[in-house]
Structure 1
Amino acid sequence: MKSLGSRDKLQAAAAASGHRRVLLLVFASCFAFATFLTFLYSSSSFASATTSSSRYGSSATSTTSSSLAGSGPGGALPLPVFDALVHYASFSNATHRMTDTDIRAISAILRARGPCNLLVFGLGAESPLWLALNHGGRTVYLDENEFYVKYLEPRHPGLEAYDVSYTTKVRDFKDLLEAARATRAAECRPVQNLLFSECRLAINDLPNELYDVPWDVVLIDGPSGWNPNSPGRMPSIFTTAVLARSGATAAKGPTDVLVHDYNFELEQVLSKEFLCDENRVAGSGTPSLAHYVIRPGSAGAGFCSAGQDGAAASSQTAGEKTRK
């Protein structure tokens, strides 16, 4: 009997173990099924979110970018911001800065043309202002001082500047002008590829791609010309006159050219010679700022039309203000 009782216990234990196996199998099956349902739900939600993102993400990103940039149509600054920058710049006490009237006259052109491709000869107190006002466009500065370029660039993120090696001197400007007139049909012609120019007034050592940019506005406020050994603005005025009539700049249409310090002899004579009085916009400048609009094909074989040649202008420079 004792032996029989042991068998009954073993059978009972085996039955209980089998029951536990069944329960464990059922539990594992339920867990696997729940996991599978969770995976399906997560996949569906992710797909829905992806679809929604692809449907609305473009406009959302555009809206966010626009909000962060604070820009108006076409990337331009909102007018209140534009006006505020001009207002505070005009009250700046920085040394060697432009007059209030000059700043406002230049700003008016940038508002009309911007965002645009803006080329500026010369770095100065107003350089960050021009960069800000041309928000959404491209602003490039050219200056003869390599150290000043390296000094300003890290202090004004986004400022694109290049140093230029000028070989001219203010004291030689009349001789250089006569040489340019003598070779107007050859080296110093109004339409040419400046990269290969042999004219002494041509700037041909810039980064190559700058010659292919369609410049909308050119501001000539450099290089320096305050003493006879300074490079003077003969090369910048001549190069601008050629750029406006050649290549990509001429192909895109009219170019606004602004010449600062126009109350000095060199700027007047060279501007009349290569930019021409016929292209000057009356009433849009100041006594120290001349505004020209150069149109493709606006001159014949020379820079100016017949009867408007700048050669006659140099005979009228007696008594004009010169730098000391």
Structure 2
Amino acid sequence: MKGVNSTRLILLQPSSNHKQGGNGVNTSISISVFHHHRIWLIALLSFFTFASLLTLLSTTTARDPSDLPSASSSSTAAVASAGSASYGKPSPLPAPVFDALVNYAVSSNSTGKMREEDLRAVAGVLRRRAPCNLLVFGIGHETPLWRALNHGGRTVFLDENEYYVARVEGRNPGLEAYDVAYTTKVREMPDLLAAARRQRRGECRPVQNLLFSDCRLAINDLPNQLYDVAWDVILVDGPKGHTPATPGRMSAIFTAAVMARSRGRGHTDVLVHDHDREAERVCSAEFLCPENLVAATPHLAHFLIRAGPADEFCSNRTSTAGDAIATS
């Protein structure tokens, strides 16, 4: 058995040595092939990875950022949907906020503020028509209030004092205000009215482009774009008119009357503050007309002026400034 085993060992030894040598060659070849295949595999994986990244980057770059799903884009879409549902018209100020602003303004102890009944009358018109195109002659205590109540609309202020305009704009960022160079005086009212009557079919006609008007009562130095606006509400609360030497509101009332009639269609609410004063009362009767008066307080008159062609401001041509003064 030992001999056999020894023989087997002798016989197996060369075979073992042979196999060992052969395995070394085969192993080297196998390892070489494996490494070769692995390199190709890595190369292929790298190529596909690079191609995938390139495709992803190209797609991301080509897409509009607004197409990417995000909270902001969802909010924007919701707002756009809401806007289209309401045909693009801005939403009015919420009623509780509207009322709070009015009540705060009424309870304020500031000097020079509008009387409560007058303030609430103006607020009532804005509650019905806002957001709208609002033109205000005069800057004062209520300026921020009118702008806030017309939230979502366009509010423009006109004043005779350019320094005051600049100061108010500085305190109220985004406020749209312009200064107006008035050439009239309260003491000139009779002559101005007489001239306007003589030119009723000419320069002082009720429907015209004020930008090119030579009527002495017309305000024609405003920014051009303001003459193209269909004003829904016009509040005449300026310029100053408490003394004979102040500009008075004759031009403001005449201009408001022409703007309302020249808007093309619809109607304009025109409110005249300090209507109890002679100049405001007489000019309102002359250009805004008693038949258009829809509401009044002791100091504020509310006229509803309809647009359209007209040869006269008032249908009752016998109504004159002298009659208005006599019946006051």
TM-score, normalised to structure 2, is 0.80
What SS is found at the alignment partner of 2:90? helix
Corresponding residue of 2:314: 304
**In structure 2, C-alpha distance between the alignment counterparts of 1:77 and 1:57, rounded to whole Å:** 24
Corresponding residue of 1:3: none
**Which of these residues, 20, 24, 32, is aligned with residue 35 of structure 2?**
20
What SS is found at the alignment partner of 1:211? helix
Corresponding residue of 2:282: 269
Unaligned ranges ≥5, structure 1: 1-7
What SS is found at the alignment partner of 1:309? coil
Corresponding residue of 2:227: 211
**In structure 2, C-alpha distance between the alignment counterparts of 1:9 and 1:165, rounded to whole Å:** 108
Corresponding residue of 1:316: 326
Q: Any residues of structure 2 matched to 1:225-240 within 5 Å, and which?
A: 225-240=241-256
**In structure 1, C-alpha distance between the alignment counterparts of 2:77 and 2:139, rounded to whole Å:** 34
Corresponding residue of 1:61: 76
**In structure 1, C-alpha distance between the alignment counterparts of 2:163 and 2:37, rounded to whole Å:** 85
Work out whether residues 265 and 306 of structure 2, in 8 Å CA contact, stay in contact via their aligned partners in 1. no
Corresponding residue of 1:259: 272
**Which of these residues, 105, 108, 122, is aligned with residue 92 of structure 1?**
108
What SS is found at the alignment partner of 1:83? helix
Q: More deviation in 271-280 or 95-104?
A: 95-104
Q: Any residues of structure 2 matched to 1:180-199 within 5 Å, and which?
A: 180-199=196-215
Q: Deviations over 1:178-222 (max 9, x none)?
A: 222232232222222212211111111111111111111100000
- Matching residue's letter, 1:291: H
Corresponding residue of 1:5: none
**In structure 1, C-alpha distance between the alignment counterparts of 2:239 and 2:325, rounded to whole Å:** 25
* Bigger-Rg structure (1/2): 2
Unaligned ranges ≥5, structure 2: 1-22
Establish whether residue 292 from structure 1 lines up as the match of residue 303 from structure 2: yes
Work out whether residues 274 and 310 of structure 1, in 8 Å CA contact, stay in contact via their aligned partners in 2. no
What SS is found at the alignment partner of 2:119? helix
The two structures, once aligned, show a CA RMSD in angstroms of 3.7
**In structure 2, C-alpha distance between the alignment counterparts of 1:53 and 1:252, rounded to whole Å:** 45
**In structure 2, C-alpha distance between the alignment counterparts of 1:155 and 1:207, rounded to whole Å:** 22
- How many percent identity over aligned positions? 54
**In structure 1, C-alpha distance between the alignment counterparts of 2:123 and 2:228, rounded to whole Å:** 25
**In structure 1, C-alpha distance between the alignment counterparts of 2:48 and 2:81, rounded to whole Å:** 48
1:134, distance to aligned residue in structure 2 (A):
0.9
